[in-house]
Chain A
Amino acid sequence: MDAPRPAHDPEFLVNKTRVRVLGLSLDDAVKFFFGGNAFISVVVLTLITYFLFQEGFGFFGQNQRSLLTYRQAGLEYVDFIRTQESGHTALTRYISDLRLRQFNELTTVRKLDLEAANAQLAAFDEFSGQFSDGVDPLRGLLSDLTEQATAIKTKFLVAEDKKVERQQLVDAGKSVEAAAVKIDQIDFPAELKVLTGALPLYRTASAEFAAKLTAALAKAPTLSNPELATRLIRLRELTSDYIATFPATLRSLETWDYTRPVPWYQSATSFITGRQWLTASFWQDWYGIVPLFMGSLMVSLVALLIAVPFGVGAAIYINQMASAREQRIVKPCIEFISAFPSVVLGFFGIAVLGQALRLLSQQEWLAWVPGFPFSERLNILTAGCLLALIAVPTIFTLAEDALQNVPKAFKEASFALGATRLQTIIRIVVPASLSGIISAVLLGLGRVIGETMVVLLCAGNRIAIPDFTAGLAVITQPVHTMTGIIAQEMGEVVQGSIHYRALFVVGLVLFFLSLAINFLAQKIVRKYRISIG
């Protein structure tokens, strides 16, 4: 026990002298260094989540206040009337469409010259003039109220700014200056009297409007063409439906109450279900993700519809059918396509593909294709085609890997039973690697939905939900996307403003969407992996 330990353990001849710093040998230090570096990926993922939340989370509070102001300043009240007015605008658009059709028929079928055709349409023009003028009393009232509501809102915002200014002065310790900042107290009930007081005016205006519409319709001319005549009947129906909504508008105006609180969840639901993304407007900014999400979704779907047959088809061909030499040549070529920078593809879309597709759509013999001809050069289809070129290499590489992993014995067994090559591929190889192929498609989707430059340059950048009533022609409409809106607006927003934070929330949605797609892809691979043996 007491005996001193021998300096060297006699059992071992080799003795590694180790320098220890802070209790760590060199080896340990190296290990920790490498481990620390490896840990960085975890840190980065956490930081991404944290910073997206940190910058984005304030959006919900700010949006809540914005919605509250919208109600308190009476903007909501005025918007009831505005909705009613815009309904009328839709009807007049229907009428001018009707006139255009009639005009076309007169000039092309009955071969009238322009003046004669216009003369024929004089009665119709009178009717349409009456119909569209009917809204005048309502429109006048609306523009008055709009001005008043804007004034209230401005007053309120100025007061809010002053409050912030005072708080900043107080924080800076300048209490005298802070006291000097004058804040107008907004007396909402008194201010809103102007708006609510206009209710009797609205009643008369609305009644007059309804009467004028009915009168105008009663004098509607008859159209000779049976198809156009049914359209006119449809217009009558639409108008009477429209007039039937007036009492509901009146009721919402009567029961409107500016003190009704905005529930806490509404700022989130108005973001998730909002159908408008409207920024920098004089009236009210709306941050609704639906149009952007639908845009991203439509573009990605079109891209996948094109890319999946080609990507998976090429993978099957290269892996199962092609000769070794073909494999050696084609595989690097497809990998090479994946190296095309997306911004170059986007430029190609603007410079060449958009125009080429439009020209193609205007060919006579392609008129049967839904949506053809189209006039917008940049639309879902243009962006989708280019994104497909981006997605094909991803899908090809991953699907090829999956096919490669199918055990040889499966194939041999199938051949031994007398199946042909095609039968083996379709019944054995593809089903066996289906999980891998599906996850390849999912990862392709992830790649496409997160792609920025192509959609920013080629999707048309119109912030609107695609009009699905157009059927398949929907793919020829321009849209805006989640990635595109961030890239486009991030450079222009004020840091910390509600718009800035809204963009971060869109980023957050994208981030979690990509995580979900990734997770699903991994899960599918792991769950349905082929076990050999």
Chain B
Amino acid sequence: MNAPDRHVFQAQANNARRWEAAAVWVFRCATYSVLVCGALVFGKIVFQGSQTVFTTKAPFINTAFFTESPETLHVFEFEGKKMELGDRDFRALKAANPAAKDLRSETFVYSAGGIFPAIAGTVLLVIGSMTIALTLGVSAAIYLSEYATQGRLVTAIRISILNLAGVPSIVFGLFGVGLFVIFFDWNVSLLAGWFTLALMVLPVVITASEESLKSVPQGFREGSLALGATKWQTIRTNVLPYAMPGILTSSILGIARVAGETAPIMFTAAYAMRDKLPWEDLTHYSDFVFQGVMALPYHIYVVSSKIPQNEYTERVQYGTAFVFLMIVALIATTSILLRNHLRNRYRW
């Protein structure tokens, strides 16, 4: 009945196997369709955004977009030509040309110039909040992994960390308004944004740090303690150096989160538009931390919701989204690659 050359243990094509093959394909399609969706979003923004960011002439990068402040775009017809100019150039043209004095133009806010202040603001926000978050988070992780013994306090701390991780970012924003902006009277400022973002990302940093501290073998500590080192000496010389790469890599994911969040900084740190750069015109050095800044995610929100969609505004919208997505994607990729690399390197 069976074909004569069939091996006894060869898989038989029965219904169960056919079902299995079908199921594998269903699951495979589910997996890859997620990837396709992600790739579509990514691709669309990269494709459209790169038209703003890159140019066909040397140096192939639209430097104005990276170095200038946002301006209002004027679209008008002058001497029979259709022209688009930023606000400053438009005024200059009006001043230089008497014929252009009463020129009427269609205006689109934020659609000319660049996004440099937003990039600078985001960098400042990320640096400050990650410094705070790393200091607090790594210390907390050292306590939890090296010192803590089972007890009520430690249980409370662990429960708090778990719950903090689930609190919506907009609630952190409200909390930042209540505590930093109003109660401490810091107003809308870098400082308020730093602390709000740092507290939001704290659970991520603590969990990641604790994991890498725990992965340092117990023998390292015991060896050091047996040689007569104190606990702190042990941690400093025999635990932290080996855990640090892991802590830093995992914390990079925290950076991606801090850079990507909009809701917490909407009311604590971000301005829709600010002419001055953060380091300009400071009367006192403390003014630096008590000023609001522009930030990339908030800028995207502003340009995508407050101005209409058309061919003129589209450039700045996609351009900003592209730059922002690239920054965050770069951080995330670095983190993921480094982590995979570390996993292979350290095997105790």
Contacts and interface: CB of A to CB of B under 8 A. Distances in A.
Interface of A: 14, 16, 26-27, 30-31, 33-35, 37-42, 44-45, 47-48, 51-52, 54-55, 309-311, 313-314, 316-318, 321-322, 330, 332-337, 339-348, 350-352, 389, 392, 396, 420-423, 443, 446, 449-453, 456-457, 483, 486-487, 490-491, 495, 503-504, 507, 510-511, 514-515, 517-519, 522
Contact of B168 (A26, A332, A348, A510): A510
Contact of A47 (B142, B179, B325): B179
Contacts, number: 269
Contacts of A313: 26-27, 30-31
B277 interface: no
A27 B28 contact: no
Contact of B166 (A31, A342, A443): A443
10 contacts: A31-B231, A313-B31, A317-B30, A340-B328, A341-B262, A341-B325, A389-B37, A450-B167, A453-B263, A518-B166
A522 B167 CA distance: 15
A-B CB proximity, top 5 nearest: A450-B168, A341-B260, A51-B178, A313-B30, A37-B139
Contact of B175 (A48, A314, A330): A48
Contacts of B332: 335-336, 339
B86 interface: no
Interface in B133-167: 135-136, 139-144, 146-148, 153, 156-157, 160-167
Contacts of B183: 51
Interface stretch (B104-112, B281-289, B299-307): B299-307
Contact of B171 (A31, A35, A54, A514): A514
A40 B328 contact: no
Contact of B202 (A44, A344, A504, A511): A44
Contacts of B30: 309-310, 313-314, 317
Contact of A38 (B143, B172, B178): B143
A34 B142 contact: yes
- Band of interface residues on B: 35 or more
A316 B23 CA distance: 11
B116 interface: no
B171 A348 contact: no
A422 B304 contact: no
Nearest to A315: B31
A309 B33 CA distance: 11
A452 B44 contact: no
Given A33-B139, A40-B202, A52-B175, A449 B168 contact: yes
A27 B169 CA distance: 37
A491 B23 CA distance: 50
B148 A422 contact: no
B340 interface: yes
A59 to B, nearest CB: 13
B13 interface: no
B120 interface: no
A321 B30 CA distance: 13
A515 B34 contact: no
B31 A37 contact: no
Given A52-B178, A336-B333, A510-B170, A31 B328 contact: no
Contacts of A515: 163, 166-167
Nearest to B20: A422
Contacts of B160: 41-42, 44-45
A396 B33 CA distance: 13
B317 A347 contact: yes
Contact of A336 (B165, B318, B329): B329
Contacts of A507: 170-171, 174
A31 B169 CA distance: 31
A453 B27 contact: no
Nearest to B329: A339
Nearest to A46: B160
